[in-house]
Amino acid sequence: MSQDPYPGRIVAISPHLDDAVLSFGAGLARATRDGAKVTVHTVFAGTAVAPFSPAADRLHSIWGFSPEQDASLHRRNEDIAALGHLGAEYRHGRFLDAIYRRLPDGRWLADHVPGRQKLAIGELSPQSHPELFSAVKDDIEAVVEECEPTLILTCGAISGHIDNKIARDATLLVAREKDIPVRLWEDLPHAMFSPDTPELPEGFQLGSPVRASVEPDLRTRKFEALRRYPSQMLMLHGPDKDLFAQLDGHARKSSAQPGYGELTWPVVSR
């Protein structure tokens, strides 16, 4: 389907720093260009302190941070710069990324796969973290009450990452309670390798997908914003992998329309 117009106030609930820009940065840029007020609230953006999990230590090294540097602070500053380039406001949540959290028995939630940059995070559901889920929902509700959006965006959680599922499911509940339309974006870069459709919690279903084509200048603004996450570019982009070529290739492969585009689904409450 072709793009449809955006309303005047948008809140995007991003699980992690850079998720919203990676997945829907061109759409956010278009919305701000057309006069919408856009606020991106990143849920899992809290400050982590040592000791860190082996997975976190390894990622810090890949991201170019020394043990003495505050990786959380650096990443938040990157996010501020990226969203500012798109014309969007930011909010940073207090919750820790999964790579910094422990299970009830004291084991780290995340582990790394030896010899690779991937993480191993157990298959968990939001219901397995009731206190965290409730607190995340309360924070999202506070942001929604402050910004009074006419549209809420969040991730599809295609990757199955527990942080993404918590952010998405809490957002869906808040949107239903507030009677605000909500859309899910296609999680990039995950969807390039696992092109699944989101599986929603009971009581919600996907509407027809909307492939929004964007002008070349908005694609450029998105790519420029992504470069403002230098720590993540060290992991996602380099001599042996061109993130921007991959994004262009995915857009061409997944749509009959020419040019760059981004996919969202409206959500219907049943």
Instruction: List the beta strands (DSSP E) in 113-228.
Output: 119-121, 151-155, 182-185, 204-206, 210-213
What are the residue ranges spanned by the domains of the chain?
9-269
- Of 123, 266, 253, the closest CA to residue 193 belongs to 253
Q: Tell me how long the chain is.
A: 270
Fold classified for 9-269: Rossmann fold (3.40.50)
Q: What would the pLDDT profile of 145-186 be if each residue is shown by its tens digit? A: 999 999 999 999 998 899 999 999 999 999 999 999 999 999
For the cut 80, the answer to whether the pLDDT of residue 101 exceeds it is yes
Percent of the chain topping pLDDT 70 = 91
Kindly state the average pLDDT of the residues 1-17.
78
CA dist 178 → 92, 126, 139, 145, 200 (Å) = 22, 21, 14, 9, 19
Residue of 114 and 163 predicted with greater confidence = 163
Q: What would the pLDDT profile of 48-61 be if each residue is shown by its tens digit? A: 999 999 999 999 99
What's the pLDDT score for residue 1?
35
For the cut 80, the answer to whether the pLDDT of residue 122 exceeds it is no
Kindly state the average pLDDT of the residues 104-118.
72
For the cut 70, the answer to whether the pLDDT of residue 4 exceeds it is no
For the cut 90, the answer to whether the pLDDT of residue 228 exceeds it is yes
Mean pLDDT of the chain: 91
What's the pLDDT score for residue 85?
98
Among 110-119, 137-146, 233-242, 258-267, the range scoring the smallest mean pLDDT is 110-119
- Of 174, 91, 160, the closest CA to residue 126 belongs to 160
What's the pLDDT score for residue 2?
41
Percent of the chain topping pLDDT 90 = 75
